[in-house]
A and B are shown apart, each in its own frame.
Chain A
Amino acid sequence: MSALALMDISKRFGKQTVLEDVSFDVAPGEIVALVGSSGAGKSTILKIAAGIERPTSGTVLIGGQDVARRRAWKRQTAMVFESYVLYPLLSVRENIAFPLRAPAVRARYSDAEVDRRVLEIAQICQIDDLLERRPLELSGGQRQRVALCRALVRDPAAYLMDEPIAHLDAKLRHWLRGELRRLLSAREVPTIWVTPDGVESMAIADRIAVLVDRKIVQLGTPREIYGSPATIGVARLLGDLGMNILDARTEEGGGLVLDGAEHQPLFVSNGSGRLPAGPAKVGIRPAALRLRSEPGPTAIAAEVIGTESGSRQSVVIVRVGADQSTKVVAEKGELPQVGQRVYIDWEHAPVHVFSPEGGRRSTGRVHGGSNEAG
C-alpha cells in the first residue's frame, strides 16, 4: 500500500495553470525525488501534499485516507523548506526538540527520549557540537542542517523536503545523502525530495518524477530514466555533463546525418523498427563519444572550440556541422588546442533519437553499416 498518494492534482492561480494532472504515489520507506527546473511546479506539489496549498482538483491520500479537507497541522507531515525559519531565542537543541514538545505529541516522548533523538539526528547532520548555540551564531549551512534535524526528529506520516541540502558544500552533501538515505529508508515513512539537481536525484531517490512545464513527463527508477529518457527535457536534466542534443535528419533507410555535416549516415541498432524519414534530434552523452585524429566510418569532422578540465577526465567542446556544439569526454592528459581539427567517433555509442518536438523515438547503439538497421 502506498503511504502517500497524489491523484490527478491540478492547480490554477486565476487563469494561470501551475500543475496539470499530477499523479504519483510513494511507498513506506521510499524516497521519490521531484526533479525539474525552476518554475516547473515542484514546490507547489510539496505544499499541496503538506496542506499549505489546496489543489484546484485532485486528491491527496496519506496512509490511505483522503486528507484534502484536513488542515496542514493535522496531516502530521514533516516539512523542510529551502528557506527555513528557526526560533532565534531558542538554542539549537530546543529548536530541534520543538516538534516533540507540541501539545498533541508531548505525552509520547519522555525527556530522555527527546534528548536521545535530538543527539542522534544532530550527530548525523554533524551539528552535535552546536546544540547549545543560538541560530544567529550559526552559518547558513549550519542553520539549514538545524532545520533538517527539526524535521527528521519526528515520526511523521510523511517527510516533505524542499531542496534540503542545497546550500551545503559538496563534501557535506555527499555525507548527508548517504546518512539520510539510510535513515529514511529504515523509517517506513514516505519521503518526497524536491531538487532541481538531476544528479542529486539519481543519487538519493528510489524513483524520480521528472516535472517539465507543470506536468510529470516521466516517473521511474533512476536507471530507467537515465537509460531511456522520455523527452529531450528529461535527458537534459539527468547526467553529469548533460546530454548533447544535435539537429539531424533521418534519411530513407534509417541512416542519420547531422545538420550541416558531411558524413556517412549513422545507423542505430535496435528492435523498435525503422525511424521515420525527416528531421530528428539525436541525443548522446559526452562520455559515449571518442576523440580521434583520423576520419573513419562513424567518425565525423569537428573543430575544437573550447576545453574544460574535470577531476577524472577532461571535456573537449567541439563544433560540428551547422555550428552545433558538442561535448566530448577525453582522457585527462589529452587536451587538444582550440582551433584544432578532430574527428568525433560515434561507434557503438548509445544514442537516443528524438522527434523534432522532443519525444523519444528510439534508443540504440550506433554503427556505420546499413545492413543491420531495422
Chain B
Amino acid sequence: MTALSLQSIWKRYGDVEAVRDVSIDVEAGELLALIGPSGCGKTSTCKMIAGLEDISDGDLLLSERRVNDLPSEQRNIAMVFEDYALYPRMNVFENVAFPLRVRSVRRPELRERVESILERMELTDVRHARVQDLSGGQQQRVSIARALVREPTVLIMDEPLSHLDVSLKGRLRSEIRVLQQQLGLTGVLVTHDQAEAMAMGDRIAVMHLGELRQCDTPHAVYDEPADMFVAGFIGEPPMNFVPGQIAGEGGAVRFVSESLEVELPARTVKRLTDAGVLGNDEREPAVIVGIRPEHISVARADAPASGAGSVFFAEWFGSFQAVMLSHRGRDDHWLTLLAEPDDDYAIGQPVKFTVDPEQLTFFDPSTERNVLADDAVGPLLENSVASE
C-alpha cells in the first residue's frame, strides 16, 4: 500500500519556486531518504508533508486520502528533529508519554504503550532518568520513541544525526535502520549526507534547485545516475568527469580524451546508437564520461593501459587508498582512482592505469543528462542475479 503520495507538489514563496512539481510515492514499510544540498527544497518538501507549510499546488495523500487541508496534528505524522526537542525537566518515561497525555489516552493504555516502546528502543533501564543526563545517542532514541508512541502513519526524521560525533553517528545510523526494518516503519529521512542517505534509505530521492532529479534504490542511483548533478553528489570520492569524443575507425569504437582512451564494448556501442548518440550526422560526438574511482585501477608497467598520469596526492583510508592523478607534467586534478592500501604512491610518481570499459556513464555535455538513463536494462540487474 502507498502510505504517502506526493503528486505534482509545488511550493512558492512569492516569486520563488522552492519546490517544483515533485511526485514521489512512499510504500508502507519503506524508508525514503530525501537528499540534496542546502536550498534544494528538501526541508520545504518535508514541512509540507508534516503540515507545517501550506502546499502551493498539487496533492498530498496519506494512506490514499488527500490531506492538503488537514492541520498538522490530524495527519498522524510524527517528526524527529536534529536537536531532539525533548522536555529537559521530565524524565524519559514522561517525555515519551507526553504525546499520549495531550491526547487524553487513559492511564492503563498509556502505561502499556509507553513501556512497550521503551522496551523496543532499549530504554527501559533509563526510563526514570532525566533526559539531560543521557548521552546524545540515548536522547535521540528517546525522541524517536516519543515520535513512535503515537503509532504514526509516517515518521519524518529531519537531519536526526547531523550533530552527533562521527563515530557515534555511524552506530546510531545502523540502530535507527535496524529499528525501522524490524518494526516495518514508514519513514522519510531528510539529510544532506549522501553516505547516510544511501545506508538508511530503501530508496533515495535526490533534489536540486527545487526539482526531484532522481528517485530510486541507492545502488540504482549510484550505478545509473540520471544526470551529472546526481552523479557528482552521490559517492565519495566523487565520480570523475572526463570530457572527450567517441571516435570509431576500423570497427573499434573508442572514447578518446586527453591522455585517456577506452575501447567501448559492443553492447555499449549498441546502446549509444539506440540512444541516438552514435550513428547520426555528427562524426565524433562530444560526451562527458563519468567514471567512478573504483573502476580505474593501477596497471602494471608492462600491461596495456587506458592512460597514464602522475600522482598528485594519495589519501590512505585503511582498507583502500584514493590516488589523485594529474596529467603528466601538470599539477591539475585529473582523475581519482582507488588502489590497494599497501602500495606506496609518492607525489609526482608516474602511474599507468586501466579503466573498466563496462562501467562508463555517458553524459550529454550541454544538458548534462545521462544519455543512456532511459535505457531499461542496467548492469544492476545482472549483478543481483550473480551469486557466490
Supposing A242-B170, A306-B174 touch, asked if A311 and B313 sit within 8 A by C-beta, the answer is: no
Contacts of B195 in A (CB 8 A): 170, 310-311
Contact across chains for A332 and B219 when beta carbons are under 8 A apart: yes
Contact across chains for B199 and A308 when beta carbons are under 8 A apart: yes
- B161 → chain A, closest Cβ, in Å? 13
- B163 → chain A, closest Cβ, in Å? 9
User: When chains A and B are docked, how far (Å) is the Cα of A305 from the Cα of B318?
Assistant: 27
Residues 197-217 of B at the A interface (beta carbon under 8 Å): 198-201, 217
- B290 → chain A, closest Cβ, in Å? 13
- A266 → chain B, closest Cβ, in Å? 21
Contacts of B387 in A (CB 8 A): 334
How many B residues touch the partner, as a band? 35 or more
Contacts of A315 in B (CB 8 A): 174, 199
Contact across chains for A240 and B317 when beta carbons are under 8 A apart: yes
Contacts of B219 in A (CB 8 A): 309, 314, 332-333
Is A217's beta carbon under 8 Å from chain B?
no
Contact across chains for A238 and B312 when beta carbons are under 8 A apart: no
Contacts of A242 in B (CB 8 A): 167, 170-171
Is B99's beta carbon under 8 Å from chain A?
no
The number of chain A residues with a CB under 8 A from chain B is 49
Is A52's beta carbon under 8 Å from chain B?
no
With A308-B173, A309-B201, A333-B219 given, can you name 7 additional A-B contacts, CB distance below 8 Å? A174-B336, A181-B313, A285-B319, A309-B199, A311-B236, A315-B199, A334-B387
Is B112's beta carbon under 8 Å from chain A?
no
Contact across chains for A178 and B316 when beta carbons are under 8 A apart: no
Is B218's beta carbon under 8 Å from chain A?
yes
Contact across chains for B165 and A196 when beta carbons are under 8 A apart: yes
Contacts of A285 in B (CB 8 A): 319
- B73 → chain A, closest Cβ, in Å? 31
Is B47's beta carbon under 8 Å from chain A?
no
Contact across chains for A310 and B317 when beta carbons are under 8 A apart: no
User: When chains A and B are docked, how far (Å) is the Cα of A240 from the Cα of B168?
Assistant: 12
Contact across chains for A317 and B217 when beta carbons are under 8 A apart: no
Contact across chains for B324 and A178 when beta carbons are under 8 A apart: yes
Contacts of A327 in B (CB 8 A): 174
Contact across chains for A178 and B318 when beta carbons are under 8 A apart: no
Contact across chains for B217 and A309 when beta carbons are under 8 A apart: yes
Task: List the B residue with the shortest CB-CB distance to A236.
Answer: B167
User: When chains A and B are docked, how far (Å) is the Cα of A242 from the Cα of B387?
Assistant: 27
User: When chains A and B are docked, how far (Å) is the Cα of A314 from the Cα of B173?
Assistant: 14
Residues 154-203 of A at the B interface (beta carbon under 8 Å): 169-171, 174-175, 177-178, 181-182, 196-199, 202-203
Is A239's beta carbon under 8 Å from chain B?
yes
Contacts of B318 in A (CB 8 A): 199, 202, 222, 226, 238-240
Contacts of B385 in A (CB 8 A): 333
Q: What 7 A-B pairs are tightest by C-beta distance, nearest first?
A: A306-B178, A309-B218, A333-B384, A333-B383, A308-B199, A203-B315, A178-B313
- B352 → chain A, closest Cβ, in Å? 20
- B134 → chain A, closest Cβ, in Å? 15
- Interface residue from A287, A305, A308 paired with B200 (Cβ < 8 Å): A308
User: When chains A and B are docked, how far (Å) is the Cα of A139 from the Cα of B388?
Assistant: 48
Is B234's beta carbon under 8 Å from chain A?
yes
Contact across chains for A199 and B317 when beta carbons are under 8 A apart: yes
**B151-183 Cβ-contact flags toward A at 8 Å (1 or 0):** 000000000000001111011011001100110
Is A38's beta carbon under 8 Å from chain B?
yes
- B274 → chain A, closest Cβ, in Å? 25
Pick 19 A–B contacts, CB within 8 A, sort by A.
A170-B238, A174-B237, A182-B313, A196-B166, A202-B315, A203-B315, A223-B316, A240-B318, A305-B182, A306-B178, A306-B181, A308-B177, A309-B217, A311-B195, A312-B294, A314-B219, A315-B174, A332-B219, A334-B384
Contact across chains for B168 and A37 when beta carbons are under 8 A apart: yes
Residues 356-388 of B at the A interface (beta carbon under 8 Å): 380, 383-388
Contact across chains for B235 and A311 when beta carbons are under 8 A apart: yes
Is B275's beta carbon under 8 Å from chain A?
no
Is B347's beta carbon under 8 Å from chain A?
yes
Contact across chains for A338 and B182 when beta carbons are under 8 A apart: yes
Is A325's beta carbon under 8 Å from chain B?
yes
Is B139's beta carbon under 8 Å from chain A?
no
**A215-245 Cβ-contact flags toward B at 8 Å (1 or 0):** 0000000110010000000001111111000
**A329-359 Cβ-contact flags toward B at 8 Å (1 or 0):** 0011110001000000000000000000000
Contact across chains for B198 and A305 when beta carbons are under 8 A apart: no
Contacts of B170 in A (CB 8 A): 241-242
Is B285's beta carbon under 8 Å from chain A?
no
Is B194's beta carbon under 8 Å from chain A?
yes
Task: List the A residue with the shortest CB-CB distance to B384.
Answer: A333
Contact across chains for A198 and B232 when beta carbons are under 8 A apart: no
Supposing A169-B37, A197-B166 touch, asked if A311 and B182 sit within 8 A by C-beta, the answer is: no
Contacts of A308 in B (CB 8 A): 173-174, 177, 198-200
Contact across chains for B174 and A178 when beta carbons are under 8 A apart: no
- B190 → chain A, closest Cβ, in Å? 16
Is B222's beta carbon under 8 Å from chain A?
yes
Contact across chains for B181 and A305 when beta carbons are under 8 A apart: yes
Contact across chains for B178 and A317 when beta carbons are under 8 A apart: yes
Is B333's beta carbon under 8 Å from chain A?
yes
User: When chains A and B are docked, how far (Å) is the Cα of A238 from the Cα of B166?
Assistant: 10
- B120 → chain A, closest Cβ, in Å? 13
User: When chains A and B are docked, how far (Å) is the Cα of A183 from the Cα of B59?
Assistant: 53
Contacts of A309 in B (CB 8 A): 198-199, 201, 217-219
User: When chains A and B are docked, how far (Å) is the Cα of A237 from the Cα of B166?
Assistant: 8
User: When chains A and B are docked, how far (Å) is the Cα of A184 from the Cα of B235?
Assistant: 27
Is A307's beta carbon under 8 Å from chain B?
yes
Task: List the B residue with the shortest CB-CB distance to A306.
Answer: B178
Contact across chains for A240 and B319 when beta carbons are under 8 A apart: yes
Supposing A170-B238, A308-B177 touch, asked if A37 and B317 sit within 8 A by C-beta, the answer is: no
- Interface residue from B178, B312, B317 paired with A178 (Cβ < 8 Å): B312
Residue among B174, B234, B236 having the largest count of chain A Cβ atoms under 10 Å: B174
User: When chains A and B are docked, how far (Å) is the Cα of A306 from the Cα of B176?
Assistant: 10
**B71-85 Cβ-contact flags toward A at 8 Å (1 or 0):** 000000000000000
Contacts of B199 in A (CB 8 A): 308-310, 315
Contacts of B380 in A (CB 8 A): 333
Task: List the B residue with the shortest CB-CB distance to A308.
Answer: B199
User: When chains A and B are docked, how far (Å) is the Cα of A242 from the Cα of B172?
Assistant: 12
Contacts of B313 in A (CB 8 A): 177-178, 181-182
**B107-124 Cβ-contact flags toward A at 8 Å (1 or 0):** 000000000000000000
Task: List the A residue with the shortest CB-CB distance to B223.
Answer: A332
- B294 → chain A, closest Cβ, in Å? 5
Contact across chains for B316 and A222 when beta carbons are under 8 A apart: yes
Contacts of A332 in B (CB 8 A): 219, 383
Residues 217-247 of B at the A interface (beta carbon under 8 Å): 217-219, 222, 232-238
Contact across chains for B234 and A37 when beta carbons are under 8 A apart: no
User: When chains A and B are docked, how far (Å) is the Cα of A312 from the Cα of B223?
Assistant: 10
User: When chains A and B are docked, how far (Å) is the Cα of A180 from the Cα of B244?
Assistant: 29
